[in-house]
Structure 1
Amino acid sequence: MKKYISLLGIAIATIIGLQSVYGQGRLVDRVVATVGSSIILQSDVEMQYAQNLAQGMKPDDDFKCYILQQLVTQKLLSQQAAIDSIEVSEAEVDDNLNRRMQMMVRQAGGKERLEEFLNRSLLQYKEEMRPNIAEQLKAQRMQQTIVSKIAVTPAEVKQYFESLDQDSLPYFNTEVEIGEIVIKPELTKEEKEQFRNKAEGYRQQVLNGSDFGTVARLYSEDGSAPYGGELGFATRDSYVKEFSAMAFKLKEGEVSPVFETQFGFHFLQVLQRRGEEVNVRHVLIKKKPTSASLQRAKAKIDSIYDKVTDGKLTFHSAAVLHSDNNETKFSGGMITNQEDGSPLIQIDRLDKETFTAIDPLKVGQYSKSFLSSDQTGEQVYKFIYLKSRIAPHKANLEQDFAKIQEAASQDKVNRTLSEWFEQRKVGTFIDIKEDFLTCDELKLWLNNTDDVIAQTSFP
């Protein structure tokens, strides 16, 4: 945490330095690039550099070349977005700004400390950032439009693979295809009562005059606690139904009763309404498993395990009927590789518990049940099915088609964007000040070249 605060200090010092220097007239801000009818100022580059420092990047003046390149491409994309009538809503800009501010608040160690660093309120800082964020979002949407219809055929995948240096193909570690059945410990009504009472106690503090934000910062078990429990503007479908029903029922300033969701017991306060959106803050007390609930979960999963291994129930059916992991149960418990969507996962990407469970198994076998954690960090019981295991090997089309297809698709996206930028570059006046032309990546914009501009993308 100290590392991030230190880097944030550098970033904020950069921002404050810019404000004082430009604001007092000792140095005139200057245009460092012109793209069509738009200009890019030195302060634009410095502000984005400061933001990257605030997000943990180590100081590196060469990175300013990359920032200016991104700003040039942003201008080209946003100008085309205006021509194509591509817009972004105020709500989208607000959501993006809120996420950025939350990250900076977290890394600064609190809202008050960040405002002290900035020498201004977060509201003022957000308003200053708003035009650039709106332009970034338009550029992103324009880029998505350019590449939205790109697809690669099997023939193109084969052609891409054959174009690679066959002596430099990647070597893949052992890969496995696995499934899981997960059972979460369920609390009885009596076991839940202690957590409901805890939440109610904090609610009474608020009703008796304690500041809601302070109570949230001190006691809430949600990620919003450092921000006083504030969640920012969101639509009705942004929350689980119980939370949404409460948030959209109350009047501004009203504090809700304690209510339960899948995450635990909450109470909330509506801060502001804006059309179909609402900004609330809340306190969450999570439900934690008791020893008795863990024993019941262990008994349940062992019963399922016995039925599967005895042949009374298929693994697929057992997962659909009984697993508490909603992300895998409807695929029969099978886990998907989140990186490329394939069913194969390299063993070095598995968590230690799963690796230990499947390491001694033969294909087609099941591990014994074991205590683990789900994606939210909550304790669960699970057992694993090893469907297949592929030995280490050099990349090939037969075993690695999905990975090669993804690489071929990305290559096609990069080439399409490069061609688009090349066309716009030819038809657009672009001027970059000489001191930035020491950067090779910026020379591309002024020379007649067919080099790929694949790095200019907006994720």
Structure 2
Amino acid sequence: MIINIKNILFLTLILIGSTLKSQTDGKVLDKTIAVVGGEMLLFSSLETQIVSLKSQGVIVDDDNKCEIMEELLFQKLLIHQAKLDSLEVSDEEVEMEIDRRLNYFIAQIGSERKLEQYYKKTIKEIKEEFRGTVKDQMVSQRMQGKITSGLTITPKEVRDFYKKIPEDSIPMIESEVKYAQILIYAKESEEEINAAKERIQAIRDRIIKGEDFSTLAILYSEDEGSAKNGGEIGFLGRAELVPEYSATAFKLKNTAVSEIVKTKFGFHIIQLIERRGQKVNTRHILIKIKVSEKEVQNAKNLADSIYNALPTDTLTFGDYALKYSNDESSAKSDGVVANPQTGTAFFSLDEVEPQVYYTLEKLKEGEISKPVPAQSADGKKGYRIVQLISKTEPHKASLETDYSKIQQAALGAKEGEHTLKWIKEKLADTHVNISDEYKGCSFENPWVK
């Protein structure tokens, strides 16, 4: 086994759903099962990974448990060394990473509310529960990146790597798609904007007259994640809040109630609970701006006109995406959608949003779909036009068609060998103490001395 921290620990985040679900189904009595340098490994960390794998249908035997144990020991060694090297990850970076992962799962399941219902936790609770895990993983990955930085792979090394793979072990490359989109959301009408503003003004007036902010948040706030907590969202830094909310929240004193604040989510009123250094704990009431059916129809009409113009217009799909698409992340890239998990433009079929998947499967390469309904994770409605740029069929990897993937695998193998050497060097002068029940594991590295 070549150790790669992503193999097991990535499950906590990429398969965060399984882990979250497992933790709602029962509690684990905790204890320390290993110490690496100054870092303690808890039994609950091991058990969470095991439950996560089992929930994916993986049979976990004693050998698998030992492999997971070694991955976790490796993570602790990385964290220990990162502290010695003063290598850090900021709270803002952690928050952004948590949001990125959660947004992926919200898109998969349909909405924040559905995610909370499924895991029986609020978004705030999910974030808090995994904040430490996410930070540890990010520190580990950054440290591992430092270990292997500067390593390169030559074309000869790639060819040699491929030739050494037995014929019956050459991996299958699953079907992948690359697609572009023009996403048009319904606009907010002046009438609906004014209606939402009047609603939140009325709520604010009641608070100013003495009614309890928390009670009114529970009754009226349309932020499903925080309403049940009386509108409280917890301690967050400036970068973790949208700019308009942040600017207001950090100006509040004592328990003052803000004026009405408009963000991309709608209208807010904010109350300061407590400030600690560069973080504030606030509660808020959100009233969203409703989108009328007329505006949804207007979005469809615009999408229809673009679709009808595309076959004969001198403007390309990418030109229209840049001019009209409301998806900022793809509009400037000819409408090409990036895979948030890999950073590339290619998606395996199970990585594609369900809304998009059923449209893509009907298209041939180069074809453009008719406008289809679209809805964002925060409830925005509109229409989407999709172009299938390419689709590969499942096949055995070859240097001719999959050079970049084989090159990546070869570099990964080289990095793995370099990392194994690093582990052995560090373990020579790092204190490690493992619980007796795990000393019988056939570890690849000398964790037991």
Specify the alignment match of 1:166 in structure 2. 167
- Equivalent position amino acid for 2:295 in 1: S
**1:196 alignment partner, SS class:** helix
**1:10 alignment partner, SS class:** coil
> CA-atom RMSD, angstroms?
4.5
**1:216 alignment partner, SS class:** helix
Specify the alignment match of 1:282 in structure 2. 284
Matches within 5 A, 1:241-260: 241-260=243-262
**1:167 alignment partner, SS class:** helix
Specify the alignment match of 1:189 in structure 2. 190
**Kept in 1: contact 2:226–2:232 (CA 8 A):** yes
Shift of residue 382, structure 1, vs aligned partner = 1.2
**2:366 alignment partner, SS class:** coil
Q: Distance in 1 between matches of 2:352 and 2:281?
A: 38
Quickly say closer, same or farther: Cα 1:139–1:288, change in 2 above 3 A. same
**Kept in 1: contact 2:303–2:383 (CA 8 A):** yes
Q: Distance in 2 between matches of 1:143 and 1:295?
A: 51
Q: Distance in 2 between matches of 1:227 and 1:409?
A: 48
Shift of residue 324, structure 1, vs aligned partner = 0.7
Specify the alignment match of 2:426 in structure 1. 424
**Kept in 2: contact 1:11–1:53 (CA 8 A):** no
Q: Distance in 2 between matches of 1:98 and 1:333?
A: 23
Q: Distance in 2 between matches of 1:204 and 1:213?
A: 14
Q: Distance in 2 between matches of 1:134 and 1:344?
A: 27
Per-residue CA deviation, residues 225-272 of structure 1 (Å, 9 max, x unaligned), is 444433333333333332222222322322112222112222212223
Give the unaligned 5+ runs of structure 1: 19-30, 115-122, 448-459
Matches within 5 A, 1:29-178: 33=34, 35=36, 38=38, 45-46=42-43, 48=45, 69=70, 72-86=73-87, 141-178=142-179
Give the unaligned 5+ runs of structure 2: 1-16, 101-114
- 2:369 aligned residue (360, 367, 370): 367
Shift of residue 332, structure 1, vs aligned partner = 0.8
Per-residue CA deviation, residues 316-340 of structure 1 (Å, 9 max, x unaligned), is 1111111111111000101233443
**Kept in 1: contact 2:46–2:72 (CA 8 A):** no
Quickly say closer, same or farther: Cα 1:370–1:341, change in 2 above 3 A. same
Shift of residue 138, structure 1, vs aligned partner = 5.8
Specify the alignment match of 2:295 in structure 1. 293
**2:244 alignment partner, SS class:** helix
**Kept in 1: contact 2:34–2:42 (CA 8 A):** no
Specify the alignment match of 1:212 in structure 2. 213
Greater C-alpha Rg = 1
Quickly say closer, same or farther: Cα 1:147–1:281, change in 2 above 3 A. farther
**1:317 alignment partner, SS class:** helix
Shift of residue 421, structure 1, vs aligned partner = 0.8
Quickly say closer, same or farther: Cα 1:169–1:295, change in 2 above 3 A. same
Per the normalisation by structure 2, the TM-score is: 0.73
Identity %: 32
- Equivalent position amino acid for 2:320 in 1: A
Q: Distance in 2 between matches of 1:139 and 1:387?
A: 36
Per-residue CA deviation, residues 349-376 of structure 1 (Å, 9 max, x unaligned), is 4345434434444433321111122354
Shift of residue 394, structure 1, vs aligned partner = 2.1
Specify the alignment match of 1:11 in structure 2. 27
Specify the alignment match of 1:269 in structure 2. 271
Do structure 1's residue 200 and structure 2's residue 216 form an aligned pair?
Answer: no
Per-residue CA deviation, residues 394-448 of structure 1 (Å, 9 max, x unaligned), is 222333334334434443443332221111123335443433213333874237x
Per-residue CA deviation, residues 288-331 of structure 1 (Å, 9 max, x unaligned), is 32110011111111222233222242111111111111111000
**2:342 alignment partner, SS class:** coil
Q: Which stretch shifts more, 212-221 or 49-58? A: 49-58
**Kept in 2: contact 1:437–1:443 (CA 8 A):** no
Shift of residue 390, structure 1, vs aligned partner = 3.1
**Kept in 1: contact 2:152–2:411 (CA 8 A):** yes
Shift of residue 97, structure 1, vs aligned partner = 12
**Kept in 1: contact 2:75–2:140 (CA 8 A):** yes
Quickly say closer, same or farther: Cα 1:55–1:202, change in 2 above 3 A. farther
Number of aligned residue pairs:
410
**1:440 alignment partner, SS class:** coil
Shift of residue 61, structure 1, vs aligned partner = 11
